[in-house]
Structure 1
Amino acid sequence: MTRLPERPTIVCLCGSVRFLAEFDAASLAETLAGRIVLSVGSHRQRDEEAFSHLPAGERAAALNRLTELHRSKIDLADEILVINPGGYVGHHTRQEIEYARAQGKQVRWLEEIQVSGP
């Protein structure tokens, strides 16, 4: 088996889990481009659905653990890829972007954002 000459870039996918199909497509595209991909826990269902059977307190704790785990994935990554169909970037995704930038990570966008102004 031929080894790559250097470690591939590690990319962490960030964005709203309402876009699971886009997460799945981006994961495949990034992998085929030779990158190591870190992503959400499931591309099949949203976190809220996965934990819907839990009492409210346990559900909130589980979601908080996933948030912390995702930050650890950002820490491991060289860059993040924001999954933002239609330019949508929600509150939690903004927090992930701010965190990534504070850690010195490059931020890429699935769809380029439009900046309006003078």
Structure 2
Amino acid sequence: MDGGLVKPIVVTLCGSIRFKQAFLDANFNETMAGNIVLSVVGLERDEHFVLTEEEQRMLGELHKRKIDISDEILVLNVGGYIGKSTQSEIKYARQHGKNVRFLEK
């Protein structure tokens, strides 16, 4: 028996990591809604931490794999901001038939 739980939705969070609190809040809220949440790396680092270009590329590709195994993405468009990387992730998700939700309308 599965305890009566419905199969959870897998959600990947997308957005600028400058909105650290939005990622933390969305992770909590989506988890409490019964969803499995995939997020970004680097939220625990301070603003002086810098990734190499190779590390950035690798993490970008890894994030696409997270989108691949997700049912949908949640775009954390705080204040309406959607950067180039996030725009690319939205396009990728739509091309792969994923539902796209936005934090702000």
TM-score (normalizing by structure 1): 0.81
Cα distance 1:48–1:2, how it changes in 2: closer, same or farther (>3 A)?
farther
Q: Which residue of 2 aligns with 1:11?
A: 11
Give the counterpart of 2:57 among 64, 72, 75. 64
**Whole-Å separation in 1 of the counterparts to 2:60 and 2:26:** 20
* 1:4-59 residue CA offsets vs partner (Å, 9 max, x unmatched): 444200000000111111101000000000000000013223798253xxxxxxx1
Tell me the residue number matched to 2:24.
Answer: 24
SS class of match (1:93): helix
Q: Name the TM-score, length of structure 2 as normaliser.
A: 0.91
Aligned residue in 2 for 1:54: none
Paired residue for 1:89, among 82, 88, 94? 82
Partner residue, 1:34: 34
Contact 1:47/1:63 (CA < 8 Å) preserved in 2?
A: no
Gaps of 5+ in 1: 52-58, 113-118
Q: Secondary structure at the match of 2:88?
A: helix
In structure 2, what is the Cα distance between the partners aligned to 1:47 and 1:11? 26
Aligned mates of 2:91, 2:48 — CA distance in 1: 23
Equivalent residue in structure 2 for 1:103, among 82, 88, 96: 96
- Count of aligned residue pairs for this structure pair: 105
Correspondent of 1:77 among 45, 57, 70: 70
Question: Does 3-12 or 36-45 show the bigger shift?
Answer: 3-12
- 5+ residue gaps, structure 2, are none
Q: Percent of aligned positions with the same letter in both sequences?
A: 47
